[in-house]
Amino acid sequence: MTPKMARIKKIAQETPSIRTFYLDLETDAKPGQFAMAWLPRVDEKPFTLTGTGNETAITVQEKGKFTKKMFELKEGNSIGIRGPFGKGFDFGGAKNACIVAGGCGAAPLLMLAEELKKRDVNLKIVLGARTGNECLFKERLKNTGEIYITTDDGSLGEKGFTTSVLERLLEKEKFDCVFGCGPEPMLVRVFELCEKFGAECQLNLERFMKCATGICGQCAIDEWLVCKDGPVFKSTQIRKMRDFGKFAMLKSAKKVSLQEYAQWRQK
């Protein structure tokens, strides 16, 4: 679809580096689906939809060129939106679930957690960030289940990684599903732990995108397209992936290591 210009109704400062932009646009976005946000003459990038219906929103962390421009926008300004795209989380049967969110990875998991809460799912949430005041959606996530917080600097919750908490939880509890989003090295560890303890998982993955509708081949992980087959993938798919945690494509479609990919993103 052609991008639709949507007025920014409200901007919420979530953490010092993260803002939610509520849009004057109705969607039927499901947890885990994303949209392409367009700033004319700048660029177009994928962002998880963090609200649906007339609460449709994207939550953006200030990182590089595009997101700096996003942070210059005021309420009343407009951005272009294409979407919702992709397959979201499949949470139909879950009764006892765990959510693991690293940094901005809490973005796609918030709507999921609130949906699970509505269905009375017994939920544990592991929320990690660099530092205490960067824990995204901490208050809203607290209302959906039992929350465990980890920070790199120990300024809030436990000092260390989300995956250490997950390991302890998996040791004593059986989850129908573990839902994760965050930096790929974290997700690799989440997957390893779930395999070790025999728990199913669904991970929200990220790759550079162009079309967002499954034709350009830019976002490939092996034969899967993150935009169309994902961005949420299940254990059955992840088990077969050879590129997961290892390789990603640059804009030229050259396949490189995740480290080189991250360096390119920094440019």
Partner 1 sequence: MLETEFCKVKLGNPTVLASGILGTSAELLIRAAENGAGAVTIKSIGPREREGHNNPTIFEWEHGLINAVGLSSEGYKEMEDVWEALKKCPVPVIASIYGANVQEFIEVAENVAKQKPAIVEANISCPNSEKHGQVFGCNIDASAEVISAVKKAVGEIPLIAKLTPQAPNIAEIAKACEAAGADAICAINTVAGMVINIEARKPVLHFKKGGLSGPAVKPVAVKCIWEIYEAVKIPILGVGGVSSGRDAIELMQAGASAIGIGSGVHFKGIDVFKKVCSEMEEWMNENGFANVKELVGIAHE
Report if residue 214 touches ligand FES, rule: CB under 6 A.
yes
Residue 225 touches ligand FES, criterion: CB under 6 A = yes
**Using the rule CB under 6 A, which residue among 206, 224, 229, 233 binds ligand FAD?**
206
Among 8, 25, 36, 177, binds partner 1 (CB under 8 A): 36
Q: Give the total of residues touching ligand FMN (CB under 6 A).
A: 2
Which one of residues 137, 218, 238, 244 is an interface residue with partner 1 (CB under 8 A)?
218
Residues in 62-81 that interact with partner 1 by CB under 8 A: 78, 80
List 210, 234, 246, 255, residue binding ligand FES (CB under 6 A)? 210
Where does this chain touch partner 1 (CB under 8 A) — which range of 19-27, 96-104, 192-200, 211-219?
211-219
Please report whether residue 45 would count as binding ligand FAD according to CB under 6 A: yes
Interaction residues for ligand FMN, span 214-243 (CB under 6 A):
215-216
Answer yes or no: are the C-beta atoms of 170 and 180 closer than 8 Å.
no
b/e map 81-100, b = 16+ CB within 10 Å: bbbbbbbbbebeebeebbbb
> Shortest Cβ distance from residue 27 to ligand FMN (Å)?
25
Which residues in this chain contact partner 1 in the complex, by CB under 8 A? 1-3, 5, 36, 38, 40-41, 43-45, 78, 80, 82, 209-211, 213-218, 220, 222-223, 225, 249-255
Which residues in this chain contact ligand FES in the complex, by CB under 6 A? 209-212, 214-219, 225, 227
